[in-house]
Amino acid sequence: MPERNMERYSRQILFQPIGKQGQERLLTSRVAVIGQGALGTVIADHLARAGVGSLTLVDRDFVELSNLQRQTLFDEEDARNRLPKAIAATQKLARVNSEIEIHPVIADVTPRNVEELIAGADLVMDATDNLETRLLLNDACLKAGIPWIYGGAIGSSGVVMSIVPGSTPCLRCLIDEPPPPGALPSCDTVGVLNATTAVVASIQTAEALKLLTGHAPAAGVLYLDVWEGTFDRMPLERRPDCPACAQGQYEYLAGQRIAWTTVLCGRNAVQIVPPDERGISLEELERRLRPIGRVTYNGFLLSLEVDGRELVIFPNGRAIIKGTTDEAEARTLYARYVGT
């Protein structure tokens, strides 16, 4: 690890609530950022520049052109090369701050791996795109006693909530059951402004800096609308009947609520996670699939274009089936070309 030059943090150290002691705490802190999309890229960028000593960047996806409107660490070359987002983000941030450790992880967050992904973290940042994964993070962080910061954005509106196990309400105190598919607006139907995601992620980062430097987070739930210019904070109490933080029932962590086939928001695509997530040889798969359709392999993922669909396959057997939102069709294509 290179010697750290505190001059780069001089303006942050002048901010009295952080100061030199707070900066030293940041430099020894470990944060896991779950998701490297619109929220995650801003959060990771801010935390790297703030001098958080160790960042673990987790993401399941690769860079596409439609990401560039709001995912601030990526560029057109990343999209052309279809780099995994965790890799592209790490490459950019290594040029921003070479004095910190950055660990990219290409993975979908599931009950099988979430505890390992957050192990050793002082704080977990939510930058995911669905409530099921957030409720899984809620379970895992409560069980491990790790604070985490929930954030969401859609259209021009956003929400932020800091969760400290044993001290604050948890996410299930706010959202006990995810609504059925199609019941709420999504990025498919109303889109999202880059200003919304930037503001939500920046507020999440401010909450992170508070917690990491020993300050109490803001209470309750913050709702904002950047188009209307409104910010409202809703008080929230811990529910005595909360299954997670009151009763210690971690249903999402136990895998009772997680779907292994997921329609991806705004992507016209379905993700498939095989039950055992076995490792596969992409080099061997490339040779087998070449006679079938157009195949490309960049060392991180393999792509097969066939019959108007595209299968993007990762080394652990996970795949994204593009060109359909029909889960049954996606499973059929996966079984046909990847295997069962």
Are 83 and 226 members of one domain?
Answer: yes
Predicted local confidence at residue 160, as pLDDT: 98
Are 266 and 218 members of one domain?
Answer: no
Are 293 and 218 members of one domain?
Answer: no
Backbone conformation region of residue 72, classed left if phi is above 0, alpha if psi is from -120 to 50, else beta? alpha
CB within 8 A of 55, min separation 6: which ones?
Answer: 30, 31, 32, 33, 44, 47, 48, 93, 100, 101, 102, 103
* pLDDT 10s digits, 194-217: 999 999 999 999 999 999 999 999
Predicted local confidence at residue 190, as pLDDT: 75
Predicted local confidence at residue 334, as pLDDT: 87
Q: What are phi and psi of 95, to 5 degrees?
A: -85, -15
Predicted local confidence at residue 155, as pLDDT: 94
Full-model pTM: 0.85
Residue 23 lies in a domain: yes
Are 159 and 300 members of one domain?
Answer: no
Residue 256 lies in a domain: no
Distance CA 336, CA 147 (A): 43
What does the DSSP 8-state code read for residue 238? P
Contact in structure between 169 and 237 (CB atoms under 8 Å) = yes
Residue 103 lies in a domain: yes
The ranges of the chain with pLDDT < 50 are 1
Are 199 and 152 members of one domain?
Answer: yes
Predicted local confidence at residue 188, as pLDDT: 56
Amino acid making up residue 42 = V
Provide the mean pLDDT of the chain.
92
Are 170 and 36 members of one domain?
Answer: yes
Last residue of a domain, one of 189, 218, 234: 234
Distance CA 106, CA 224 (A): 31
Task: Say how many domains are in the chain.
Answer: 2
Residue 255 lies in a domain: no
Last residue of a domain, one of 234, 251, 284: 234
Query: What CATH code is carried by the domain that includes residue 79?
Result: 3.40.50.720
Are 105 and 201 members of one domain?
Answer: yes
Are 61 and 185 members of one domain?
Answer: yes
Are 276 and 192 members of one domain?
Answer: no
Are 25 and 134 members of one domain?
Answer: yes
Residue 251 lies in a domain: no
Residue 241 lies in a domain: no
Distance of CA 247 to the CA centre of its chain: 27
Per-residue CA distances from 28 to 3, 52, 55, 175, 308 (Å): 13, 7, 11, 33, 49
Are 142 and 209 members of one domain?
Answer: yes
Predicted local confidence at residue 328, as pLDDT: 82
Query: What CATH code is carried by the domain that includes residue 317?
Result: 3.30.310
Residue 128 lies in a domain: yes
Residue 60 lies in a domain: yes
Maximum separation of any 2 CA atoms in the chain, in Å: 64
Domain, as residue range, for 45: 6-234
State both tokens at 275. Answer: 């039950």
* pLDDT 10s digits, 262-307: 888 778 899 988 866 668 899 999 998 999 899 999 999 999 999 8
Distance CA 249, CA 243 (A): 5
Predicted local confidence at residue 1, as pLDDT: 46
Are 268 and 127 members of one domain?
Answer: no
